[in-house]
Amino acid sequence: MVVMQIEAIDLAFGYPERAVGRNAKLAIGPGEVLCLLGPNGCGKTTLFRTMLGLLPPQGGRVLLGGDALDGLPRGEIARRIAYVPQAQGAVFPYTALDIVLMGRIAHRGVFAGPTRDDRRIASDALGELGIADLALRDVTRLSGGQRQLVVVARAIAQGAPLIVMDEPTASLDFGNQVMVLTEIRRLARRGAGIVLSTHDPDHAFAVADRVAVMKDGVIVGEGAPKTVLTPDLMRSVYGVEVSIEQLMDGQTVVAPRY
């Protein structure tokens, strides 16, 4: 896998009519998992879209593999970084395999048909997530959780050294959440750099090397999960009291005080 890093430097982000965040400093390198936490509406998705070049920065810059993101063609960006958006409904009756094969477009062009290798890679990605049996199913007839697994498989098939995942487990049941989190760690062990957002701090403790916490468009804490995710910070960001406990097997969990 190609070594690649994405870096946000003093990044201001938002929309033409509204600023959302400012002064974001993040770097994700090979084999690293960074988890972004924060309340609804704090700017996580807007930050991700700016780091992917889908929104222009309002200040600062994004570097992708050392190159300015805004100077790279879309095809080159797609070969360097894959995106798993938030769960959404399906409109067109593509098969699951068709969706996953779309991840291969960056390697063959929009108008070229999929090769035998493309089909093998796409099938392998579905198999890794335990959904090979969905390959020929119409995605409009899949559950929201199944569709989200297909989108994760598309990112895997894309083969990019960096992956941005916006709440990849949000619509999944417990078992599929564990499957996706396990796949995230496996991809990192293979050298991929991954940044994901989630509303569950337990996910950060489970898979992240580093965590960044956002409030009102500003990153208010960044570092190792056990250093950053303290009861005081959780109270400040979410307005709730929590206990942070270590289980006998070494796992760390966050328990709200109701």
Label residue 2 by pLDDT band (50, 70, 90). low
Mean pLDDT for the chain overall: 92
Mean pLDDT value of segment 175-181: 89
Instruction: Please report, for residues 43, 117, 128, 215, 246, the alpha-carbon distance to residue 76 in angstroms, rounded to integers and kept in the order given.
Output: 26, 20, 26, 32, 43
Mean pLDDT value of segment 57-82: 94
- Distance from C-alpha of 223 to C-alpha of 39, rounded to nearest angstrom: 18
Mean pLDDT value of segment 29-36: 95
Instruction: Please report, for residues 10, 98, 143, 148, the alpha-carbon distance to residue 171 in angstroms, rounded to integers and kept in the order given.
Output: 32, 21, 9, 7
Asked whether 103 and 76 are in contact (CB, 8 A), the reply is: no
- Topology annotation, domain 6-85+161-256: Rossmann fold (3.40.50)
**Model pLDDT, residue 113:** 83
Structure tokens at 57: 């920065």
Label residue 143 by pLDDT band (50, 70, 90). confident
- Distance from C-alpha of 123 to C-alpha of 53, rounded to nearest angstrom: 29
Predicted confidence (pLDDT) at residue 93 exceeds the cutoff of 90: no
Q: Which residue has the higher pLDDT, 251 or 34?
A: 34
Label residue 89 by pLDDT band (50, 70, 90). low
Counted residue by residue, the chain has a size of 258
**Model pLDDT, residue 108:** 79
Return the exposure string of 215-254: e unless at least 16 CB atoms fall within 10 Å of the residue's CB, then b: bebebebbeebeebbeeebbeebbeeebebeeeeeeebeb
- Distance from C-alpha of 192 to C-alpha of 209, rounded to nearest angstrom: 13
The 10s digit of each residue's pLDDT in 188-238 is 999 999 999 999 999 999 999 999 999 999 999 999 999 999 999 999 999
Asked whether 178 and 99 are in contact (CB, 8 A), the reply is: no
Q: How far is CA 85 from the centre of its chain?
A: 7
The 10s digit of each residue's pLDDT in 111-126 is 778 899 999 999 999 9
Residue 252's DSSP bridge partners are 246
CB-based contacts of 186: which residues, under 8 Å, 6+ apart?
none
Domain residue spans in the chain? 6-85+161-256
**Model pLDDT, residue 90:** 66
Dihedrals φ, ψ of 195, to 5°? -120, 130
Burial class, 17, CB count within 10 angstroms (exposed 0-12 / middle 13-18 / buried 19+) = exposed
Closest listed residue to residue 33, CA positions, set 183, 250, 243, 242: 183
